[in-house]
Amino acid sequence: MPATIVLGTQWGDEGKGKFTDLLAADASMVVRYQGGHNAGHTLVVKGESFALQLVPSGVLYPHTTPVIGNGVVVDPFVLLAEMEMLSSRGVDVSRIRVSGNAHLILPYHQQLDALHERHLGNAKLGTTKRGIGPAYADKSMRLGIRVQDMLDEKIFRAKLHTALGHANKVLTKVFNRLPVDPDQLADRVLTECLPGIQPLIADSINEIHAALEAGENVLFEGAQATFLDLDHGTYPFVTSSNPTAGGACTGAGVGPRHIDRIIGIAKAYVTRVGAGPFPTELFDDDGDKMVDIGREYGTNTGRRRRPGWVDAVMLRHAVRLNSLTELAITKLDVLDTFDTVKICTGYRIDGHEITTLPYHQSQIHKAEPIYEEFAGWNTDLTTVTDVEGLPANARRFLDALAKQAGVPITLVSTGPGRAQYLEYETR
């Protein structure tokens, strides 16, 4: 490894958890660097399914230290609930580290997220309503409350008074809601959350660098994905953090020269939840089939995901934005019963054919996909155990996708289980 980033190349839900879990087998540390419990990773281990939101995927291995980095926004109530769920299923959660510099999501952030969405009406973003945007907004406004603030009651109460001095004006005067009492909230957090979280609060920068200096493998786990990035995604239909590779550096406290390998996870088709442009979106039977077979409903919110064919224009852009060294393809088996499968290789916009992502979003809204079609493989890939067993048509699809993206495909997932994957070599 030693320092590897795993991140999503589309609009999230690529199945990052599966490969993060796989790579974590060789890592001593798995670090989340952005986002919060808007993420949802499902890991299937020995037939048992674990749904994680905040805790890094590596938690299921006894030898890894899962780290919640400084760039993450942490709802302390959710973190505790997740730890309790894991403990009750026999997972040791005492190894988890939470950066003292990570910011807290508190209940008023969630209330504001929901109120902002309602206020936007038809222009709503379709957020997860987990308080992500308001918590990052407070961080930028210097009104945020950090995990370390809980360790000093006087500071914690003072900061809550300041933050709520602002938030309460918005709640009462803009949204006509009741104000939140800062001291009551402080009492709740300090009595219900702090005792469970305090032993985990750490100087994550020091611990991550100690591991890197000792030559250990450190895995940086992105949540959401490239096209939900606040700077590089389809703004404003994005999340409020930087899932791209640069976000791993700021959100974990490492410089770019530490990173050796950057693996982009791409689904063999694409899905998107919430609003925003989506050139290859399908509104036909093929789309319904992808949703049904791929069980494309939000892990957290239960929302139906919007389906579409895989888009190489976006993948090429993701390769550039993230300096991807390779791609890992997930859910190839979902396409097993399709007679024809497609890759979008370019867009037709106002009669012109282009192969790069237009910077002007109105153009993305207008883009008509240009497809390369491939014969399907009509084979159950979930039972294929080595790369030689892959049907030629599946290889043709993968090799064409790698060629279009401009980086090799090194891993292919052929089912939800931990063991259902193939190490791939692009031809």
Q: Which chain residues interact with ligand IMP by CB under 6 A? A: 12-13, 38-40, 125-128, 130, 132-133, 223-224, 228, 237, 239-240, 273-274
Report the candidate in 114, 113, 43, 135 with the shortest Cα–Cα distance to residue 82. Answer: 43
Minimum distance, C-beta of residue 241 to ligand IMP, in the bound complex (Å): 8
Residue 215's beta-bridge partner residues?
Answer: none
CB nearer to ligand IMP: pick between 19 and 397:
19
Alpha helices in 52-203 (DSSP H): 76-88, 107-120, 132-140, 153-169, 182-188, 194-197
Which residues share a beta bridge with 52? 41
Asked if residue 107 has a cis previous peptide bond (ω within 30° of 0), the answer is no
Q: Quick one: tokens of 290?
A: 């992808």
For ligand IMP, which is the closer residue by CB, 268 or 381?
268
What is the secondary structure of 254-267 as a DSSP string?
Answer: --GGG--EEEEEEE
CB of 136 to ligand IMP, least distance (A): 9
If the CB atoms of residues 9 and 224 are measured against ligand IMP, the closer one turns out to be 224
Catalytic hit among 21, 26, 37, 41: 41
Q: How far is CA 391 from CA 8, 81, 216, 375, 401, in A?
A: 26, 44, 37, 11, 16
Q: Which is nearer to ligand IMP, 3 or 112 (CB)?
A: 112
> In this complex, which beta carbon is closest to ligand IMP, that of residue 12 or of residue 264?
12
Amino acid at 161: H
Q: Which amino acid is at 228?
A: L
Q: Please report, for residues 209, 284, 367, 404, the alpha-carbon distance to residue 73 in angstroms, rounded to integers and kept in the order given.
A: 21, 38, 35, 35
- Give the number of C-alpha atoms closer than 13 A to the C-alpha of residue 201, restricted to the C-beta side: 20
In whole angstroms, how close is the CB of 153 to ligand IMP at the nearest point?
30
Q: Is 13 a catalytic residue?
A: yes
- Helix 107-120 crosses helix 153-169 at what angle (to 10 degrees)? 20
Minimum CB separation of residue 396 from ligand IMP in Å reads: 29
Residue 293, both tokens: 């077979």
| C-beta closer to ligand IMP: residue 40 or 277 | 40
Position with the least CB separation from ligand IMP: 274
- Could you tell me the smallest distance in angstroms from the CB atom of residue 9 to ligand IMP? 13
Q: Shortest approach of ligand IMP to residue 132 CB, angstroms?
A: 4
- Cα 344 to Cα 279: distance, rounded to the nearest angstrom: 9
Question: Which residues are the active-site residues?
Answer: 13, 41
